[in-house]
Amino acid sequence: MAEEAKTGSGVWETIKTIVYALLIAGVFRTLFFQPFWIPSGSMKQTLLIGDFLFVNKMTYGYSYASCPSLIIPRFGLNIDAEDICGWMKGDNTRIWGGEPERGDVIVFRHPVTGRDYIKRLIGLPGDRIQIRDGQIILNDVAVPQQPDGVFTEIAEPQGPQGLRPRCENGPVGIGGACEKSRSIETLPNGVSYDVLNIGNQGSDNTGIYNVPEGHYFFMGDNRDNSADSRLPQSAGGVGYVPYENLIGRADRIFFSSAGRSMLFFWTWRGDRFFKAVK
């Protein structure tokens, strides 16, 4: 009997340890840093498919979007942030809210689907934005772009989804050099970053966007391969993103995997450990 009681006590202690660990991890992820694995190429070359980073959730304060989502289809898990913290949604405010700065790379919840997106903040509330020949016209002033050579990557399936990169130099066979023109774009506040071009398409010439109060306008750095604020939500884009939908700022890449899984350590990119996101 004593042995059975000891065994039962050990099992109970193990269960408590697991529960406490999950609670601590949940609090840490909700209040401080949320892990994020880059699934697509919309932010190349700033962020590559397979980059693993932590999102700083303290920068902009907290809202319903700060609660973690746990969505793993293969195990039937579909716990959304709104399921836990939906009672906070609706007033477009934040607790201890901080104002994002133009040029920040931000993770946010899609206003319709609730999925996490990562893009660069281009437009602030009240801004007037238009895209002409691939160049941003911000409040009637062109945002300068300086040509900066060519971004080259191998034409091969990338990441767990096996996505193949689009190339400016035409259809490229597997293993070939996939090229995109690269420019350095500099926003009015002095923030500079690389943007890539693949070709001329509809999103290179747009109408005028007037960013509403309490909302933000986002774009991907890989301009011709990004579903962002240039497209309305009804057309599969992001549209204007409410302040309360911001999750946090991407500050630093922890590590980066060029393979199909982040666990394939032999595919980790040696030049991206602890790399700052700019």
Task: Identify the CATH class of 32-276.
Answer: mainly beta
Is 57 among the catalytic positions? no
**Average pLDDT score, the chain:** 88
Confidence of residue 23 (pLDDT cuts 50, 70, 90): very low
pLDDT tens, residue by residue, 234-275: 888 999 999 999 999 999 999 999 988 888 889 999 999 999
Task: For residue 244, give both structure tokens.
Answer: 């309360």
* Confidence (pLDDT) at 97: 87
What mean pLDDT is predicted for residues 46-61? 94
Please tell me the number of Cα atoms within 13 Å of 175 on its side-chain side.
0
β-pairing, 51-56 vs 77-79, is unpaired
Instruction: Specify the range with the lowest mean pLDDT, choosing from 2-6, 124-128, 136-140.
Output: 2-6
Q: What is the phi-psi region of residue 274: left when phi exceeds 0, alpha when psi lies from -120 to 50, beta otherwise?
A: left
CB 13 within 8 A of CB 5: no
* Confidence (pLDDT) at 9: 59
Is residue 8 over pLDDT 90?
Answer: no
Other C-beta atoms lying within 10 Å of the C-beta of residue 125: 14
Q: Which residue out of 44, 57, 119, 180 is catalytically annotated?
A: 119
Task: For residue 267, give both structure tokens.
Answer: 């595919």
Other C-beta atoms lying within 10 Å of the C-beta of residue 198: 19
CA gap 89, 63 in Å, rounded: 7
0.85 surpassed by pTM: yes
Q: Which residue out of 40, 42, 183, 229 is catalytically annotated?
A: 42
Is 119 among the catalytic positions? yes
